[in-house]
Every structure is written in C-alpha cells, then in structure tokens.
Amino acid sequence: MDLKPARILGIETSCDETSAAVVENGREILSNVVATQIELHVKYGGVFPEVASRQHIRTIYPVIDEALQRANVSLTDIQAVAVTRGPGLAGSLVVGMNAAKGLSLGRQLPLIGVNHLEGHIYSAWLYQADTPKPPPAPEFPQLVLLVSGGHTELNLISDHLTYQHLGSTLDDAAGEAFDKVARMLNLPYPGGPSVQKSALDGNPDAFVFPRAWLEGTWNFSFSGLKTAVLREVRQLEKTGRPLPVANLAASFQAAVVDVLFTKTMKAARKFGVKSILVAGGVSANQALREAFVGQAEFPVHIPPLSLCTDNAAMIASAGYYHFCAGRIDPLDLDVLPTWPLS
C-alpha cells in the first residue's frame, strides 16, 4: 500500500455518541470531538434507539464544525470523508451517513464507509498531535481482541485492511454481560464502569463462577456466567441480608477477564503473531488492561481510555488506509447495521 499525506474527516454515529474528528496521515489526531448521550439514556437503563437518533440530528453539524475549528482547518484542507457504515443502530448510522454524503457531494470529497469494528482496531494507531515522540505503529501479523457491548471476537490481521475471523461470542458479548450483571446488582448505567468500580472493593475469589472455554474453538460464551451470577444473587436475596455487591462484581469480572486473556494468549501463540491488540469499549476495563500489560510474551497495544469508547478519530484513521488503497465508495452507499468485520 502506497501511504500518502492526507487529512481525513471522520464521522461516527453508530450508537449514542456523536463524534467528528480530523486525523492526519492515519495517525495524528488534530481534533476529536465527542458529544455523549449517556445522561439521556440513564433513565432507560440502556440506549434508547429513537432518542439516540434524534439527538444525533441535533448535534451532528455543530460537532463537525467544532472538529474542524479545533483542528484549525476548513473543508478545503480535507482530502476525504470517512463515516461509520455499520454495525450499529440503523437510525443512528443514517444520521452520520447522510451528513458525510452531504459534505462529500457539496465539496467533491471522496466518501469512505468504514466498519465500526475496524475503527476500534485502528484506534491503536493514533496519537495526539502534541505528542513529542510518536509511538511506533503496531506490527503485523497481529492478533486482535475486539471486546465491547455488542461484540467479542478474535481476528488475525496480516496487513492493513486484511482480516481473518477466528472466533466470536456465541451469545452475550462481554460488555453486554457487564451491563446485565450491573442491573442484577442494582449498579448504575453504564454497567461496565459501575461493575469495575464496585469490584475494586471486592474479593475476586469470593465466588467461583464458571468459565466457558469452548475447547477446540476460538469462540466465547458468557451467558452461562451471567446465569450463574443471577442464580447466586437470588440465593443470597433469600437470606434477607444485604448483597455482597463488591465481591459479586469482583468475582464476575475476574471470570470474564480470565477467559478473554487466556484465550487471546493461546491464539497468539498458535498463530505466531508479532503483537496483540485489545480494542473496543471493554478494553477500558482496568483488570483486563493489567492482565495483558502484565505479561511479557507479546508486545501489547491498548488504546488510551479516551479512544476505547466510540469516537470519530478511529474512523478517520481506518478511512485513511482505505483512501490510500483507493477504496472509495459511491454516494448511494447505504448503512449496514449488522455488518461483520470479515
């Protein structure tokens, strides 16, 4: 792939964050504006799709304007527009897609549809513009653990934009399991950070919850673990005593991290990779980060916390490599709410 200088405007509206960013040469973040909707969805205990879509409509253009202003550029300084095509909520994706198409048509800029999961992968390539010594780019071949509220999967990457799917969850994604267990324990939304915070005061060995290893595959399963926590909660509630929330949270979290870390390390050895990348919303979990950083067998790339959750800088980064590869999309491009990475 012939890498060339380019500034990409990224747009991300796959779920409940409205984001726009300007990234130079696929790595340097000139701006990354994120308008979150968490407070709007707290009362629902999760993302309410119609509310998310309406809020995207209200904020998309102010967010794009702010991203350009913070980067100190105008649309004449942009070489292409990259936008999340999927997966995600259809009503949310359409808002970002339509905004990107309008900019592409009005300014005659190439349009690039990016897979949201691919964006999470490329979050590991990014660094802030004021970084004194930019980190080296991750090396291929690379094993990627994508772990979020909607996805948990292992992928082998042999080169830019070249993915081999190894396995994924057969039921609940890891982030989904965190959210459901948080509700069982009456912890506030969003569930992932709440479980992690509660677990800090708990004993991870207090309860022995099951691990689904699914030997012979690279797949995951968290429904059995979730059910085991629910069963334990119901038994404890019968005693009439307060739930040991911290111990339950810590023991559940330990089980999730154990499976994610162990299977990823096993796959990395099997396929002889040069590095491991952990990305997606759940990669913000401190216990998971410590597990990977604490081993010395493979170099590990985990995005900073600000880039673990949904953002447009990661979409712009992935879009840059599509742009360099000549992968440009037509203006009749449609969203793909269930679009797999490979």
Is 84 part of any domain?
yes
Which of 41-45, 81-85, 298-302, 329-333 is predicted least confidently? 41-45
Asked if residue 323 lies in contact with residue 8, where contact means CB atoms within 8 angstroms, the answer is: yes
pTM, to two decimals: 0.96
The whole-number average pLDDT for the span 149-156 is 96
Question: Residue 26 phi/psi, 5° resolution?
Answer: 80, -5
pLDDT over 70 percentage in the chain: 100
Q: Are residues 70 and 206 in the same domain?
A: no
According to DSSP, the residues that pair with 146 across neighbouring strands are 153, 279
Count the domains in the chain: 2
The residue with tokens 């997966």 is 87
d(CA 135, CA 301): 10
pLDDT per residue as tens digits for the range 185-232? 999 988 999 999 999 999 999 999 999 999 999 999 999 999 999 999
Is 27 part of any domain?
yes
With CA atoms as reference, report the closest residue to 40 among 26, 59, 12. 59
Q: Are residues 285 and 310 in the same domain?
A: no
* Paired sense of beta strands 80-86 and 17-24, if any: unpaired
215 contacts: CB under 8 Å, gap ≥ 6: none
Question: Residue 25 phi/psi, 5° resolution?
Answer: 55, 30
Q: Are residues 212 and 255 in the same domain?
A: yes
d(CA 22, CA 28): 9
Q: Are residues 274 and 156 in the same domain?
A: yes
Give, in degrees to the nearest 5, the angle at Cα 278 between 333 and 87: 20
Is 61 part of any domain?
yes
Q: Are residues 118 and 151 in the same domain?
A: no
pLDDT per residue as tens digits for the range 167-197? 999 999 999 999 999 999 999 988 999 999 9
Is 339 part of any domain?
no
3-state percent breakdown (helix, strand, coil) of the chain, nearest 5: 45, 20, 35
pLDDT per residue as tens digits for the range 276-321? 999 999 999 999 999 999 999 999 999 999 999 999 999 999 999 9
With CA atoms as reference, report the closest residue to 92 among 168, 173, 190, 17. 17
Is 285 part of any domain?
yes
Q: Are residues 113 and 228 in the same domain?
A: no
Domain with 36, as residue range(s), is 7-126+306-324
Question: Residue 179 phi/psi, 5° resolution?
Answer: -65, -40
Q: Are residues 222 and 257 in the same domain?
A: yes
Q: Are residues 296 and 150 in the same domain?
A: yes
Is 220 part of any domain?
yes
240: left (phi over 0), alpha (psi -120 to 50) or beta: left
d(CA 97, CA 207): 46
Is 340 part of any domain?
no
Residue 82 CA from chain centroid, whole number: 17
d(CA 63, CA 75): 14
Which domain CATH number covers 41?
3.30.420.40
d(CA 123, CA 277): 10
Q: Are residues 261 and 281 in the same domain?
A: yes
Q: Are residues 164 and 113 in the same domain?
A: no
Residues 290, 292, 297, 303, CA torsion sign: negative
Is 60 part of any domain?
yes
The whole-number average pLDDT for the span 151-180 is 97
pLDDT per residue as tens digits for the range 31-50? 999 998 888 888 788 888 89
- Show the beta-strand stretches assigned E in the chain: 7-12, 17-24, 28-36, 80-86, 111-115, 127-128, 142-147, 152-159, 162-168, 275-279, 300-301
Which amino acid makes up residue 201?
Answer: D
Cα atoms in the 13 Å half-sphere on the side-chain side of 168: 17
- DSSP letter at 126? -
Which helix (H) or strand (E) element contains residue 257? helix 245-271
* Paired sense of beta strands 80-86 and 152-159, if any: unpaired
Q: Are residues 149 and 104 in the same domain?
A: no
Q: Is the pLDDT of residue 341 over 90?
A: yes
Q: Are residues 106 and 206 in the same domain?
A: no
